[in-house]
Amino acid sequence: MEKRMSILLVEDDEKDCQKIKQYTEELDDISLIGITNNLDGAICYTKEFLPEAIILDLELHKGGGNGLSFLCELKKLELPYHPFVLVTTNNCSDITYECARENGADFIMAKYQSDYSPEGAVDFLRMMKTAIFSKIQSLSPEHETSESPEQKEKRIVSEIHREFDLVGMNPKHVGYRYLTEAVQLVLDEPVHNLCSILGARFGKTDVSIERAMQNAINKAWRTSDIEDLLKYYTAHINAEKGTPTITEFIYYYADKIKNRY
């Protein structure tokens, strides 16, 4: 599986956000790491997850701040590399465009053009993917290892939660947290006695850990749309049982995320 390009969406139009979210969920080469409608959120996401590309709306009327301010703040951050910034805007001012380019915008898409669509903005980044990766590598040869342990952990947890959400798992269920930890544990190599390790970590018995994880899986398979389950969980499931076992579930997602990177 080819490496996914991580994208941050900075946009205050809820319909556009929803369209991009739904579209990226269907793609194997894009990972949407976050959505925010304000300047502060955009800076936090960028520092914590270091996306490879950003879709940036210039006028964040429903959020806070604006895209030009974000570009100025982005220049001040000490990052291993600066993300590719695709600006999308309804503004038609040449002066605004010039200012955006001077402050680091790599490309500008006008929303008022008849052929513009939120999905089209994502497709543009997909078209630019090879060039974006090449530029990042040239600016930061240590790109794969420049990520701090904290950044890597947050990125992986975000990916795990995104995958769990696609099959309708409830983040309020205690088993959700245990399954997240379990997937992280087996990413590098198989781990025996997972329930014992998690039990020691959370101060619970092996049986309670196992029960909570299986309950979380069972509930998702009982309440989620069958089409979503078939689409987003493609591993074989025992027909008699009807749901994945804990081991099957954990290693399926560990392999999926490991192959992605």
Whole-number pLDDT of residue 261: 56
To the question of pTM greater than 0.85 for the whole model, the response is: no
Whole-number pLDDT of residue 33: 87
Cβ atoms of 90 and 111 closer than 8 Å = yes
> Distance between CA atoms of 162 and 253, rounded to whole angstroms?
11
Whole-number pLDDT of residue 183: 95
> Distance between CA atoms of 172 and 177, rounded to whole angstroms?
9
Query: 10 Å Cβ neighbour count for 165?
Result: 15
Helix (H) or strand (E) holding 152: helix 149-166
The domain limits of the chain are: 5-146, 149-260
Cβ atoms of 58 and 92 closer than 8 Å = no
In terms of Cα–Cα distance, which of 51, 50, 56 is closest to 5? 51
Residue 188 Cα to chain centre, angstroms = 20
Angle at 187 between CA 183 and CA 189, to 5 degrees: 120
Q: How many residues does the chain have?
A: 261
What CATH fold (topology level) applies to the domain 149-260?
A: Arc Repressor Mutant, subunit A (1.10.10)
Whole-number pLDDT of residue 102: 95
Query: Token pair 């990226």 is at which residue?
Result: 24
Cβ atoms of 37 and 62 closer than 8 Å = yes
Whole-number pLDDT of residue 2: 61
Cβ atoms of 82 and 50 closer than 8 Å = no
Burial class (CB in 10 A: 0-12, 13-18, 19+), 65: middle
Tens place of pLDDT for every residue, the chain, 261 residues? 467 899 999 999 999 999 999 999 888 889 898 899 999 999 988 987 889 999 999 999 888 899 999 999 999 988 888 899 999 999 999 999 999 999 999 999 999 999 999 999 999 999 999 999 988 877 655 545 455 677 778 878 888 988 898 899 999 999 999 999 999 999 888 888 899 999 999 999 999 999 999 999 999 999 999 888 888 888 888 777 889 999 999 999 998 887 765
Q: Which two tokens stand for residue 235?
A: 């591993």
Whole-number pLDDT of residue 139: 67
Query: Token pair 């299986």 is at which residue?
Result: 214
> Distance between CA atoms of 40 and 217, rounded to whole angstroms?
35
Q: Which two tokens stand for residue 256?
A: 């999926």
Q: Which CATH superfamily is domain 5-146 in?
A: Response regulator (3.40.50.2300)
